[in-house]
Amino acid sequence: MRNRIIKIGVIGTGGMGGSHVSNITNEVASAHVVALMDVDRARMKEVAAQCGATHTFAECNELINPPRCRSSFDRRAGPLSCCA
């Protein structure tokens, strides 16, 4: 069976979102953070540089539609926390 890399997008790069990005980048060999969304563009670019994400967005829908990733984490306050 061949190893597949799962492309992940993270919405929100603050404390918890940044921790998720770090954990995925450093601990999950079969996953790669490819896209980030945050209204704090400076923080988002800092996190993108740390994890190698090549796509950054100011709006959630830009990350989700059309899908650039197989899974996304939404770390903002609200009922949605992960969609695949």
For residue 37, being part of any structural domain is answered with yes
Give the total number of structural domains in the chain.
Answer: 1
CA distance 41 to 26: 23
CB of 82 within 8 A of CB of 73? yes
| pLDDT tens profile 45-76 | 999 999 999 999 998 888 887 666 666 666 55
For residue 78, being part of any structural domain is answered with yes
Helix axes 41-51, 15-27, angle to 10 degrees: 10
User: What CATH number is associated with residue 53?
Assistant: 3.40.50.720
Q: Where are the beta strands (DSSP E) in the chain?
A: 6-11, 31-37, 55-57, 71-74, 82-83
Per-residue pLDDT band for 4 (boundaries 50, 70, 90) equals confident
Q: Which domain holds residue 24?
A: 6-83
Maximum distance among all alpha carbons in the chain? 40
Cα 60 vs. chain centroid, distance in angstroms? 11
